[in-house]
C-alpha cells in the first residue's frame, strides 16, 4: 500500500508539469464560445453594412478581407450560402484587369490584388484558377529585381511595394507572399529566394543583414533602413510580418532569423498597444498579423523573457472581446491611421484574427 | 532667383531671329532644370523622376515666360508657342532621365500636364498682375502659392487625423497640390513613395487622387477663368495706368 502511495506520488510529480502545460495550451471553453459569438456578431455587422453590389467601403481590399472573414469563419460559409458571399466574389471579379491585377484604383494595387487572391482562393472554387494564376504573375511582376535594373546588392532587391511606385516595404511584401503561399505557388519559384533577400535586409540582425544600420534585437523594420517610428526601430506588426514572410518562403522554424524574430516577440509581448511604436496606431493590423504569425509558427504558448507564459489565443480573444462595440463592429478609437477608422476594415481584420483563435 | 525680363521697352520688337534664339536658350534652360530636378531625386523610382522632370519643366517654363511686345504682335502666338515648346522640352528631359525599360504609357499625359499647368499659372499671374499692378510681384506671389499648395500634404497632413469620418478633407488636401496633378498624370502614387512617406503621415490615411480628366479640366477651367477675370481687372485699372494682364502686352 505504501509502495503504491509513493508510486502514485512520484507519478503525480512527474506528470504535473505536463498537466499544467496542457492547461496553458487549452483555451477556456467559455472564452472560446464567447470568441465565436464575437466573430458571429462581427460578421452580422458586415452583412448589415454590405453595399448593394456586394462590396464593402467601395474597395477591393476591404471587400476581399471581409469576404475572407466569412469564408474562414467557424461557420464555414461558402458560395452556396447565398448572395452575401457570391456578390462580393462578383465584385472582386468585376475588377480583374488584363494585367492580372484586381483593383478598383491605381493606388494600393498590390494590397488589393493580394487580398483578393487570398479571398478567391478561400472559396475553393476551381473556376477562379485562371484569374488566380494571372494574379500570381502580376504579383511576381511587382517584385523588384534585375528586370527593373536592380542589382542584388541593392537594398530594394526582391522587395514588393504598393504597385503605384517602386519602393518596397515589409507590409506589402508579406501580403503578397501570403497570397502567393495561399494560392500554392511553386516553392521552387525564384520569387521566394529573391524575397528572402529583402526580408533579411529588413531585420535587425547583423549576422544575416548586410546593411550597415542593422541592429541585433531580431525585430523587423518597415523597410531596409527606415521605420516610421524613428530610425530603424523594430516594431510589432512588421516583426510578425517578417516572421510570416520567412515561414512562407520555406525557412525552417529553427533558422536563426526566425528564432531571433521570435525572441523579439517574446521580449515585447503585449496586446495592450502596438509594441515598438509607443502608440495604438495600427493596433488592429498588429492583432491580425500577430494571430496569423503565431498560428503559422505553431506555438500555443509564448513564454516572455521573464519566463511568464502567455496563451496567445486566450489573450487575443480577451482583448478583442473587450474592444468590440455594441453593434458588433470594431474600430480603432485612438487612431485613424492605416484606415483603422473604417469600421468595415477593422471589423474584418478582427474577425480574421478571431477565426484563427478558435481554429 | 533671377527672373528673365518680363517686359521690353515700348516699341521694341521680337524678330523671328531673336525669337528663335530666345526659344532655343529658354528651351535649353527648361530642359536642364527638368533634367536636374529628375536626376537629383535620391533613390527615386522612374515615375518619381518623370514627375520631377515635369515639375522642373513647369517651373523653368514659368520663370522664363517669353517677353512680348505690342509692336511684334506676337502676344498670343508666342504664348501658344511657349505652351507647346516647354512641354516638348520637358518631354525630352523625361525620355533622357528615365531608362527605356521604365518608360511608361503615362509619360505623354505628363507632357500635356506641363502645358496645362503653365496655362493655369500664367492665367493666375495675369489676374494677380492686374490686382497688384506689378508683374514681378505677381510672379513671386504665384510661385509662393504654388509651393505652399504643392507641400499641402506635408503641412496639413498631420491634421487630417483629427477630422474623423471626413474623408473628403483628406481628398481636398491632396487635390489642391499641383504636384498631385503631375503625379496623377504620371500614374504615380507619390504620397506613398519613400520621400513623402517618411515625412508625412499621408500614406497611412484613406484618400483618393482626383482623376486625370477631372484634374486637367479643372486646371484649364481655372486658367480660363483667371484670364477672363484678368481682362476685367485690367480694364478697371487701365484708366488709372495702362497695364496689361500679361505684363506690358496690349491684349486688345
What pTM was estimated for this model as a whole?
Answer: 0.85
CB contact under 8 A, A164 and B189: yes
Lowest mean pLDDT segment, chosen from B3-7, B26-30, B52-56, B229-233: B3-7
B59 CA to chain A: closest CA distance, Å? 24
Helix (H, G, I), strand (E, B) or coil at A167: coil
Backbone angles phi, psi at A279, to 5 degrees: -160, 180
Place of cell 500634404: B153
Confidence check: pLDDT of A311 > 90: yes
Is A297's Cβ below 8 Å from some Cβ in B? no
B interface with A, Cβ–Cβ < 8 A, is 43, 45-48, 99, 101-102, 160-161, 164-165, 187-190, 192-194, 197-198, 201, 204-206, 208-209
Cβ–Cβ under 8 Å, residues A189 and A176: no
Which residues are CB-neighbours of A267 under 8 A, at least 6 positions away?
A217, A304, A305
Under 8 Å CB pairs connecting chains A and B tally to 65
Cβ–Cβ under 8 Å, residues B14 and B68: yes
**Is pLDDT larger for residue B124 or for residue B23?**
B124
DSSP-derived pairing of the beta strands A309-311 and A301-303: antiparallel
- Nearest C-alpha neighbor of B203 from the set B161, B142, B145: B161
Is A149's Cβ below 8 Å from some Cβ in B? yes
Which candidate in B204, B207, B214, B215 is best for mutational testing of the A interface (most A CBs within 10 A)? B204
Report DSSP letters for B30-55, one per residue. HHHHHHHHHHTSTT--HHHHHHHHHH
Cβ–Cβ under 8 Å, residues A319 and A310: no
Is A228's Cβ below 8 Å from some Cβ in B? yes
For residue B65, CA distances in Å to A133, A284, B120 come to 52, 52, 13
Residue of A165, A281, A341 with shortest CB distance to B47: A165
CA atoms within 13 A on the CB side of A222: 17
Question: pLDDT digit string (tens) for B213-229?
Answer: 999 999 999 999 999 99
Lowest mean pLDDT segment, chosen from A231-245, B87-101, B224-238: B87-101
B142 CA to chain A: closest CA distance, Å? 30
Distance CA A262, CA A312 (A): 13
- CB neighbour burial string for B36-52, b if at least 16 within 10 angstroms, e if fewer: bbbbebeebbbbbbbbb
Measured between beta carbons, which residues in chain B are less than 8 angstroms from residue A341? 164-165, 206
ipTM above 0.85, yes or no: no
Residue of B164, B194, B209 with shortest CB distance to A107: B209
Question: pLDDT digit string (tens) for A156-194?
Answer: 999 999 986 678 999 999 999 999 999 999 999 999 999
Measured between beta carbons, which residues in chain A are less than 8 angstroms from residue B188? 164-165
Confidence check: pLDDT of B135 > 70: yes
Which candidate in B206, B208, B209, B212 is best for mutational testing of the A interface (most A CBs within 10 A)? B206
CA dihedral B91, B92, B94, B99 (to 10 degrees): 140
Query: What's the whole-number mean pLDDT along residues A2-10?
Result: 56
Is A141's Cβ below 8 Å from some Cβ in B? no
CB contact under 8 A, B209 and A106: yes
Measured between beta carbons, which residues in chain B are less than 8 angstroms from residue A106? 187, 189, 209
Give residue A8's pLDDT band: very low, low, confident or very high (50, 70, 90). low
CB contact under 8 A, A167 and B161: no
A265 CA to chain B: closest CA distance, Å? 24
Measured between beta carbons, which residues in chain B are less than 8 angstroms from residue A147? 101
Residue of A164, A282, A338 with shortest CB distance to B192: A164
Give residue A6's pLDDT band: very low, low, confident or very high (50, 70, 90). low
pLDDT attached to residue B50: 87
User: Closest residue of A to B199, CA-based?
Assistant: A228
Amino acid at each position: 500500500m505504501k509502495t503504491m502511495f509513493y508510486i502514485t506520488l512520484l507519478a503525480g510529480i512527474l506528470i504535473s508539469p505536463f498537466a499544467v502545460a496542457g492547461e496553458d495550451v487549452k483555451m477556456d471553453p467559455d472564452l472560446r464560445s464567447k470568441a465565436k459569438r464575437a466573430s458571429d456578431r462581427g460578421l452580422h455587422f458586415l452583412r448589415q453594412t454590405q453595399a448593394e453590389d456586394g462590396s464593402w467601403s467601395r474597395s477591393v481590399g476591404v471587400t476581399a478581407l471581409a469576404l475572407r472573414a466569412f469564408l474562414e469563419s467557424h461557420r464555414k460559409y461558402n458560395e452556396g450560402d447565398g448572395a452575401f458571399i457570391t456578390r462580393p466574389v462578383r465584385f472582386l471579379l468585376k475588377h480583374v484587369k488584363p494585367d492580372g491585377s484586381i483593383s478598383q484604383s491605381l493606388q494600393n494595387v498590390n494590397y488589393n490584388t493580394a487580398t483578393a487572391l487570398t479571398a478567391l482562393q478561400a472559396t475553393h472554387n476551381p473556376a477562379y484558377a485562371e484569374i488566380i494564376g494571372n494574379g500570381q504573375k502580376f504579383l511576381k511582376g511587382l517584385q523588384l529585381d534585375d528586370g527593373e535594373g536592380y542589382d542584388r546588392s541593392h537594398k530594394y532587391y526582391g522587395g514588393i511595394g504598393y504597385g503605384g511606385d517602386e519602393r518596397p516595404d515589409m507590409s506589402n511584401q508579406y501580403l503578397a507572399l501570403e497570397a502567393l503561399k495561399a494560392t500554392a505557388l511553386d516553392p521552387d519559384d525564384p520569387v521566394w529566394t529573391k524575397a528572402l533577400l529583402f526580408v533579411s535586409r529588413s531585420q535587425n540582425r547583423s549576422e544575416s543583414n548586410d546593411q550597415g544600420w542593422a541592429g541585433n534585437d531580431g525585430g523587423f523594420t518597415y523597410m531596409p533602413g527606415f521605420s516610421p517610428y524613428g530610425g530603424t526601430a523594430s516594431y510589432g506588426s512588421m516583426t510578425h510580418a517578417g516572421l510570416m514572410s520567412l515561414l512562407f518562403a520555406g525557412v525552417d522554424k529553427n533558422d536563426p532569423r526566425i528564432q531571433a524574430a521570435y525572441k523579439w516577440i517574446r521580449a515585447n509581448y503585449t496586446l495592450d498597444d502596438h509594441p515598438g511604436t509607443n502608440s495604438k496606431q495600427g493596433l488592429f493590423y498588429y492583432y491580425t498579423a500577430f494571430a496569423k504569425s503565431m498560428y503559422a509558427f505553431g506555438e500555443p504558448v509564448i513564454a516572455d523573457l521573464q519566463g511568464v507564459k502567455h496563451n496567445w489565443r486566450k489573450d487575443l480573444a480577451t482583448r478583442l472581446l473587450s474592444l468590440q462595440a455594441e453593434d458588433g463592429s470594431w474600430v480603432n478609437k485612438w487612431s485613424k491611421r492605416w484606415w483603422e477608422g473604417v469600421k468595415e476594415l477593422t471589423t474584418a481584420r478582427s474577425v480574421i484574427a478571431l477565426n484563427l483563435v478558435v481554429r | 532667383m533671377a527672373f528673365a525680363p518680363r517686359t521690353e521697352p515700348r516699341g521694341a520688337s521680337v524678330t523671328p531671329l531673336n525669337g528663335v534664339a530666345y526659344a532655343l536658350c529658354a528651351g535649353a534652360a527648361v530642359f536642364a532644370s527638368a533634367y536636374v530636378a529628375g536626376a537629383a531625386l535620391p533613390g527615386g523610382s522612374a515615375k518619381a523622376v518623370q514627375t520631377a522632370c515635369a515639375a522642373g519643366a513647369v517651373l523653368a517654363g514659368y520663370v522664363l515666360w517669353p517677353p512680348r511686345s505690342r509692336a511684334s504682335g506676337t502676344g498670343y502666338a508666342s504664348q501658344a508657342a511657349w505652351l507647346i515648346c516647354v512641354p516638348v522640352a520637358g518631354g525630352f528631359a523625361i525620355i533622357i532621365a528615365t531608362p527605356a525599360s521604365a518608360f511608361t504609357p503615362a509619360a505623354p499625359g505628363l507632357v500635356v500636364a506641363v502645358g496645362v499647368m503653365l496655362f493655369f499659372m500664367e492665367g493666375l499671374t495675369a489676374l494677380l498682375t492686374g490686382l497688384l499692378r506689378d508683374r514681378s510681384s505677381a510672379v513671386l506671389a504665384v510661385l509662393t502659392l504654388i509651393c505652399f499648395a504643392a507641400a499641402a500634404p506635408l503641412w496639413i497632413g498631420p491634421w487630417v487625423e483629427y477630422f474623423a469620418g471626413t474623408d473628403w478633407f483628406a481628398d481636398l488636401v491632396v487635390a489642391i497640390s499641383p504636384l498631385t496633378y503631375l503625379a496623377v498624370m504620371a500614374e504615380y502614387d507619390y504620397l506613398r513613395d519613400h520621400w513623402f512617406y517618411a515625412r508625412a503621415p499621408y500614406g497611412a490615411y484613406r484618400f483618393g487622387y482626383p482623376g486625370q480628366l477631372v484634374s486637367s479640366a479643372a486646371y484649364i477651367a481655372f486658367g480660363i477663368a483667371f484670364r477672363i477675370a484678368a481682362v476685367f481687372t485690367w480694364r478697371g485699372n487701365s484708366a488709372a495706368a495702362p497695364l496689361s494682364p500679361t505684363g506690358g502686352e496690349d491684349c486688345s
